């Protein structure tokens, strides 16, 4: 199984979707967005939330590629923005803290 960073790096989506998602990610707020997207309280860990979001996004992207009638570009952008937001939070959480040494 690929790790999260590999899976994120392997994602290929249309530039317009990604550009819109990056703009949306600047307004990303974890609790309200995850509650709306996942339909449940937000997972405490960024990795768990990211996996759930990526699974939903893969299904939505499949609908985009099939040109499904129920595909929503707005929902796709919202999911991608949440993925970007969670990935950024995961990256920040993974950084070693640089405490002041005495």
- The tens digit of pLDDT for each residue in 24-63 reads 999 988 888 888 898 877 777 878 888 889 999 999 999 9
- Does residue 45 form part of some domain? yes
- Does residue 77 form part of some domain? yes
- Does residue 29 form part of some domain? yes
CA–CA separation, 4 vs 14, rounded Å? Answer: 20
State pLDDT tens for residues 52-92: 899 999 999 999 999 999 999 999 999 999 999 988 887 77
Q: Structural domain tally of the chain?
A: 1
- Does residue 84 form part of some domain? yes
Q: How many CB atoms lie within 10 A of CB 23?
A: 12
Distance of CA 34 to the CA centre of its chain: 10
- Does residue 88 form part of some domain? yes
Q: Which domain holds residue 48?
A: 4-94
- Does residue 102 form part of some domain? no
* Cβ(59)–Cβ(79) below 8 Å: no
Dihedral of CA atoms 56, 62, 68, 70 in degrees, nearest 10, equals: 10
């Amino acid at each position: 199984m690929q790790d999260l960073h590999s899976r994120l790096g392997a994602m290929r989506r249309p530039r317009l979707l990604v550009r819109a998602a990056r703009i949306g990610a600047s307004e990303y707020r974890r609790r309200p967005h995850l509650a709306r997207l996942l339909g449940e309280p937000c997972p405490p860990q960024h990795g768990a939330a990211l996996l759930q979001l990526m699974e939903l996004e893969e299904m939505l992207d499949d609908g985009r590629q099939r040109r499904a009638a129920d595909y929503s570009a707005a929902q796709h952008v919202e999911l991608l923005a949440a993925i970007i937001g969670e990935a950024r939070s995961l990256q920040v959480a993974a950084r070693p803290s640089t405490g002041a040494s005495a």
